[in-house]
Amino acid sequence: MKLLVVGGGGREHAIIQKLKENPGVETIYALPGNGGIAADAVCVPEIGAKDIPAIVDFAKSHAVDFAVVAPDDPLALGCVDRLHDAGIPCFGPDAKAARIEASKVFSKNLMKKYGIPTARYEVFDDPAKALAYLRTASFPIVVKADGLALGKGVLIPQNLEEAEAAVKSIMEDKAFGDSGNEIVVEEFLTGPEVSVLAFTDGTAIAPMVSSMDHKRAGDGDTGLNTGGMGTVAPNPYYTADVAKVCMDTIFLPTLAAMRAEGCPFKGCLYFGLMITPDGPKVIEYNCRFGDPETQVVLPLLKTDLLTIMQAVENETLADLAVEWSDGAAACVILASGGYPGHYEKGRPISFPDAFPANVTCYHAGDKRQPDGTLVTSGGRVLGVTATAPTLSQALADAYAAAGTVDFQDKYMRSDIGRRALRAMEEA
Ligand code: AMP
Ligand code: GLY
């Protein structure tokens, strides 16, 4: 079979490596892919992940049998709809279902209408009304741009002055473009965060192993928000009891709500949860695999990924047993110094001759020079993942391997997994 994967980061590298385990897979095309992915797939750097007509033309002219659309932008732009129009089976939600991530107003209204637990909120399209409301609010409070904003559209003002600045930045200065035409202002919740990715064909659901992201740039969860500096799986806060409550009050009701709204969700649905003193609540939905959650979740998957993705497309997921390893995984992101602010690119990367058998280095932001050397080309450059029977071993192995990769101004957090280990000790 010939497969096509849309995207070019660490998440896509993890998806591609897992798809390759299927012996029926002859070729995987990555559009655009990246320097490191080129070792595992045929990369097409000329076709960006948002260039839907070019992606569809490529899939048709290369007789692609199955496509996986991984990033949020092409999903929201209807990449799956257009591939289906061209008769190409694929994994991922259509544009109507992708609104669950692409519009926070849509997802908040969905949760309210169907009684799915989430933070209380108000929606505003008029900055004056938003400010009038904020003058009566208590702080901290959460201000979110409606649309996609590269994970940066959430601000948590601590006082009225910061709230006024947040409204000005999102609604008037349009820091996130049209994504800020509307905002959601919501109650600040507290509690540990858990990410649960789930395969779903619209009706059946197979939740994956839970995970924990580390979004802030600095140790101790300080500094700016990033795309994610590291992940561990499973997440110790996601106990069997919590999992059952989530299935009954969040997962199944969300799928039913999407069906009732005429936009059944097929693909990977990401539940960003907070385990509050009042029980689990939804912080956000993503219409796709998380990055870098995928880099710790898929290495623990025992069932063939392509078979699962085909079952999602064919709506036969209920007939498939999706199995997971009992062990743990940890991913440490190696970033360019300065990220998520300004950073330099083009730094040559040196790798060890080989990684230990339980370690995989996923490439997120690098490119290959004509002489074959890999150089940095993004903020998050590599994700070094280790799997092991215990989380502490996985972390030790991931950090040991991360230390054997080098480039100028390499930056990583030194405390990935520390909170998870502490939670396990306290349990
Ligand atoms: P999001 O982009 O929606 O994942 O939000 C980014 C981060 O902001 C989340 O991972 C949370 O840490 C935080 N956040 C979002 N909404 C809330 C909320 N209602 N209460 C507290 N923290 C929140
Ligand atoms: N790691 C969070 C996300 O993928 O949105």
pLDDT-based confidence at 427, cuts 50/70/90?
confident
Six-digit token pair at 135? 């003058």
Q: What is the pLDDT of residues 298-335, one digit of tens each?
A: 999 999 999 999 999 999 999 999 999 999 999 999 99
Residue 153 has pLDDT above 90, yes or no: no
Shared domain check, 176 and 129: yes
- Residue 111 falls inside a structural domain: no
Shared domain check, 197 and 297: yes
* CATH value at residue 304: 3.30.470.20
- Residue 68 falls inside a structural domain: yes
* pLDDT of the residue at 152: 74
Shared domain check, 269 and 253: yes
Shared domain check, 311 and 199: yes
Residue 151 has pLDDT above 90, yes or no: no
Q: Is 315 in the pocket of ligand 1 (CB under 6 A)?
A: no
Question: Are 94 and 84 spatial neighbours (Cβ–Cβ below 8 Å)?
Answer: yes
pLDDT-based confidence at 149, cuts 50/70/90?
confident
Shared domain check, 332 and 244: no
Shared domain check, 313 and 248: yes
* CATH value at residue 49: 3.40.50.20
- Residue 104 falls inside a structural domain: no
152 or 324, higher pLDDT = 324
- Residue 108 falls inside a structural domain: no
CA dihedral (216, 219, 221, 222) in degrees, to 10, reads -80
Q: Is 72 in the pocket of ligand 1 (CB under 6 A)?
A: no
Question: Are 146 and 183 spatial neighbours (Cβ–Cβ below 8 Å)?
Answer: yes
* CATH value at residue 348: 3.90.600.10
Q: What is the pLDDT of residues 167-217, one digit of tens each?
A: 999 999 998 889 889 999 999 999 999 999 999 999 999 999 999 999 999
- Residue 101 falls inside a structural domain: no
* pLDDT of the residue at 4: 98
Residue 275 has pLDDT above 90, yes or no: yes
- Residue 87 falls inside a structural domain: yes
Q: Of 94, 128, 162, which one is at a domain's C-terminal end? A: 94
Shared domain check, 217 and 146: no
CA 212 remoteness from chain centre? 11
Shared domain check, 419 and 401: yes
Closest residue to atom 16 of ligand 1, CA basis: 283
In whole numbers, what is the pLDDT of the chain averaged over residues?
96
Number of structural domains (the chain) is: 4
User: Has this prediction a pTM greater than 0.75?
Assistant: yes
Residue 198 phi, psi (nearest 5): -140, 135
Q: Of 156, 187, 218, which one is at a domain's C-terminal end? A: 187
Closest residue to atom 3 of ligand 2, CA basis: 290
* pLDDT of the residue at 161: 95
Domain that includes residue 162, residue range: 120-187
pLDDT-based confidence at 380, cuts 50/70/90?
very high
Question: Are 58 and 4 spatial neighbours (Cβ–Cβ below 8 Å)?
Answer: yes
Residue 115 has pLDDT above 90, yes or no: yes
Atom of ligand 1 nearest to the CA of 284: 3
Q: Of 302, 319, 336, which one is at a domain's C-terminal end? A: 319
- Residue 124 falls inside a structural domain: yes
Atom of ligand 2 nearest to the CA of 286: 5
How far, in Å, CA of 26 to CA of 24, rounded?
A: 6
Q: What is the pLDDT of residues 244-257, one digit of tens each?
A: 999 999 999 999 99
Q: Is 284 in the pocket of ligand 2 (CB under 6 A)?
A: no
Distance 258 CA to ligand 2 centre (A): 21
Distance 240 CA to ligand 1 centre (A): 24
Shared domain check, 294 and 198: yes
Taking the CA of 333 as reference, the closest ligand is 2
Average pLDDT over residues 98-115: 96
Distance 128 CA to ligand 2 centre (A): 32
Shared domain check, 301 and 209: yes
Atom of ligand 2 nearest to the CA of 227: 1
Residue 405 has pLDDT above 90, yes or no: yes
Q: Could you count the other beta carbons within 10 Å of the beta carbon of residue 7? A: 28
Shared domain check, 294 and 203: yes
Q: Is 193 in the pocket of ligand 1 (CB under 6 A)?
A: yes
Q: What is the pLDDT of residues 20-54, one digit of tens each?
A: 999 999 999 999 999 999 999 999 999 999 999 99
* pLDDT of the residue at 225: 86
Shared domain check, 51 and 132: no
Atom of ligand 1 nearest to the CA of 215: 10
Q: Is 293 in the pocket of ligand 2 (CB under 6 A)?
A: yes
Closest residue to atom 5 of ligand 2, CA basis: 290
Taking the CA of 139 as reference, the closest ligand is 1
